[in-house]
Amino acid sequence: MSTPVSELVIGENTRVTLHFALKLEDGTEIDSTFSGQPAVFNVGDGNLLPGFEQALFGLGAGTEKELTILPEHGFGQHNPSNIQQVRRDHFAVDIQLEPGLVVSFDAGNGELPGVVQEVGDDEVTVDFNHPLAGRDLVFQVQILDVSPVN
């Protein structure tokens, strides 16, 4: 006996259409789909943070909920060893280095972004942690549709 589509809940082999807003604990909004097109994904396709995806399991169409995702289920804890000193001559001469600048490095298997923290005469301090590492993430979700993956 199968569950009618209207009563299907998020889980393995489901396609989900939802609106979400990603906020920090202080209410700062990082991203939102509420004023545009909803997000659509298949569970397990890698488009969502695994911790966020797991928190959606069991929710059905019509559900509105606020979910808090802890760092270990989001972008991980902030790792001090991901803050590196990079020689200034590793940067292009024409780049204006300043704190907050996002720079990209060739990591061999793709690009590795980092955020400049400090600029010295010979070295630049770069934080390679994800900008949201160590932060609790608050997701406001509105589930619009849950359907089976064909």
What's the CATH number where 110 sits? 2.40.10.330
Which domain covers residue 97, as residue numbers?
80-127
With a cut of 50, say whether residue 51 has pLDDT above it.
yes
Question: Between these two residues, 24 and 4, which has the higher pLDDT value?
Answer: 24
With a cut of 70, say whether residue 102 has pLDDT above it.
yes
The predicted structure's pLDDT at residue 55:
96
* Neighbour count for residue 150 (Cβ, 10 Å): 6
DSSP state of 82: G
User: Are 34 and 85 in the same domain?
Assistant: no
The predicted structure's pLDDT at residue 6:
55
User: Are 17 and 86 in the same domain?
Assistant: no
The predicted structure's pLDDT at residue 48:
86
Distance CA 79, CA 76 (A): 8
